[in-house]
Amino acid sequence: MGLILLVIFAPFVVAPATLLLSRDRLRYLMLLCLAGMVYVAVLLLTGGDLGSVSLFTSTFGEAAGMSPLSFAEHPFGRMAAFSFLLVGALALLYGLEVYKRSEQAAAIVAISSAVAVAFSANFLTLFIFWELLTLS
């Protein structure tokens, strides 16, 4: 699978962990998340390939050329994802000092949802992650 899935779905694992970990371990987790965001932002800036992926495909969907969740790279999506990741990394870095666990978890989900919106390949994927971005 592509690196694009890691960028989109890893923060959904990290966000609940922010509510459960101690302050010191949370700081290490946030720094690891920041390092990952900066790495992917630099990879997007240098023209690295994150790949494209389709989830939950069926034989009918493949025959019709549809899949419920699919992500693909395109130039405007790369620019948007770069800006979301860079600003999100700076916001999380600031959030290490201004400390509220629930706000950090919501920020991580919002960043991941924004990146998913930038890389969405169909309207269903765009709608799902846009609504998740709204809820976070």
Q: What is the pLDDT of residue 121?
A: 84
Q: What is the DSSP letter of 56?
A: S
If pLDDT is split at 50, 70 and 90, which confidence band does 130 have?
Answer: very high
How far apart CA 136 and CA 122 sit, in angstroms, is 21
If pLDDT is split at 50, 70 and 90, which confidence band does 117 have?
Answer: very high
**pLDDT reading at 25 higher than 80:** yes
Q: What is the pLDDT of residue 92?
A: 83
